[in-house]
């Protein structure tokens, strides 16, 4: 039997070993490697859906303008800068693009995601 001194017998085990700490760091790293790309992809999808919704809202206002005036607006700013239609200001593309009216009198966006 090995002889222990009194302080070794009564000393409680404290802290983590280096190996335990390394395992925890590796597990957290693996979880982060899985979660971060999924979060970024979800963020991009949300921005794209928001842009689509903005286009739909603008298109609704274009059709309302046509119903009221019997003609389509000359340009998109006739719709987007009307505070009666957009009291909070013109819609802003979350992907950094800008909205325009195409040849079919529909709203579109020029961001690299392919538009609305």
Q: 0.95 exceeded by the pTM?
A: no
Which of left, alpha, beta for 115 (phi over 0: left; psi -120 to 50: alpha)? Answer: left
What is the DSSP secondary-structure string of the chain?
-----HHHHHPPP-S--HHHHHHHHHHHHHHHHHHHHHHHHHHHHHHHHHHHHHHHHHHHHHHHHHHHHSS--SSTHHHHT-TTT-TT-S---TTS--EEE-TTS-EEE-STT---
Distance of alpha carbon 2 from alpha carbon 9, whole angstroms:
11
Q: What is the pLDDT along the chain (116 residues), one digit of tens a residue?
A: 555 555 556 666 677 788 989 999 999 999 999 988 888 888 888 999 999 999 999 999 999 999 999 999 999 999 999 899 999 999 999 988 899 999 899 999 887 545 56
| Closest C-alpha among 59, 54, 56, 45 to residue 113 | 45
């Amino acid at each position: 039997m090995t002889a222990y001194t009194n302080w070794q017998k009564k000393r409680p085990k404290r802290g983590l070993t280096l190996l335990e700490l390394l395992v925890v760091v590796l597990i957290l790293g693996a979880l982060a490697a899985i979660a971060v790309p999924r979060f970024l992809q979800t963020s991009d999808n949300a921005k794209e859906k928001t842009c689509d919704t903005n286009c739909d809202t603008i298109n609704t206002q274009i059709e309302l303008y046509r119903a009221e005036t019997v003609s389509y607006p000359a340009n998109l700013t006739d719709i987007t800068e009307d505070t009666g239609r957009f009291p909070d200001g013109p819609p802003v593309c979350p992907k950094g693009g800008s909205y325009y009216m195409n040849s079919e009198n529909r709203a579109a966006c020029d961001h690299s995601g392919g538009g609305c």
